[in-house]
Amino acid sequence: MESLKTINVLDESLRLAWLESSQESDSFFSDLDLNIILESGYSSSMTLEKKRLLLEALFSKLSSFSLGQLITNSIQLTSLSDKEVASQTNLPISVLEELKADSIFPNNIPVILFHNLLRLLGIPFKSVDQAAWKTFDIIKSRAFLSGIKFMNTEPAFRRKQNISQESLIKINKSADGRELFENEDSLKKYLNKLENLMNN
């Protein structure tokens, strides 16, 4: 019979306290913690095969464009202004700006209007497919990071640009029903619909 794993209640309580505190700006986690972790000698290490997989997976993320980058680059290749793009595709200019800043899930945009935009900019579906997932990850990680409290000086080291509190609130807002569409399944369905439209 397999023996039970015994856990000391106090140690487990301390571990939970540490984990929770590490997320707070005034945590008792200190620079010492990171030094200890980085300078400790360990007997285990990641296998070379797993390291290779890790770096390959990360490289594919690093080298791909987000939707915002893709749209920005494509607009630059045309002689059109944002206003003209917005007017020719019937997209509100504010939505186009949000798309360029990767601060809106693409599936929040009516698929026909998004299709108009891609057709105008000559962006093929394959590129959009990959970029949409990168944008999805960016927005998710932005929402995730907004829940972490950094050092006390946080506001001073954040740039003013596209990760304003306003946009974070928008991402996290749950009262407007957007959250119903802001998940993997919805994005998959949306991209399927878009692919059908683009192929017809």
Q: Site for other proteins (CB under 8 A): which residue of 84, 144, 165, 169?
A: 144
- CA dihedral 162→165→167→170, nearest 10 degrees, is 170
> Within 10 A of 137 (CB to CB), how many other CB atoms are there?
13
Cα distance from N-terminal residue to C-terminal residue, the chain? 62
What whole-number distance in Å separates Cα of residue 64 and Cα of residue 17? 38
**Smallest distance, Å, CB 12 to other proteins?**
6
Contacting range for other proteins; rule: CB under 8 A; set: 60-68, 83-91, 106-114, 168-176: 60-68
- Tell me if 17 contacts other proteins by CB under 8 A: yes
- Tell me if 57 contacts other proteins by CB under 8 A: yes
What whole-number distance in Å separates Cα of residue 29 and Cα of residue 18? 7
- Tell me if 113 contacts other proteins by CB under 8 A: no
**Smallest distance, Å, CB 178 to other proteins?**
21
Name the phi and psi angles at 175, rounded to 5: -90, -10
Q: Where in 158-187 is the site for other proteins (CB under 8 A)?
A: 158-159, 161-163
Contacting range for other proteins; rule: CB under 8 A; set: 83-91, 105-113, 154-162, 191-199: 154-162
Number of residues lying near other proteins (CB under 8 A): 70
Distances in Å between the alpha carbon of 122 and those of 77, 95, 154?
Answer: 10, 19, 40
**Smallest distance, Å, CB 132 to other proteins?**
14
What whole-number distance in Å separates Cα of residue 166 and Cα of residue 29? 29
Contacting range for other proteins; rule: CB under 8 A; set: 25-33, 86-94, 119-127, 177-185: 25-33
What whole-number distance in Å separates Cα of residue 105 and Cα of residue 95? 10
Point out which residues bind other proteins (CB under 8 A). 2-23, 28-40, 42-47, 50-51, 54-55, 57-59, 61-63, 134, 137-138, 141-142, 144-145, 147-148, 150-151, 153, 156-159, 161-163
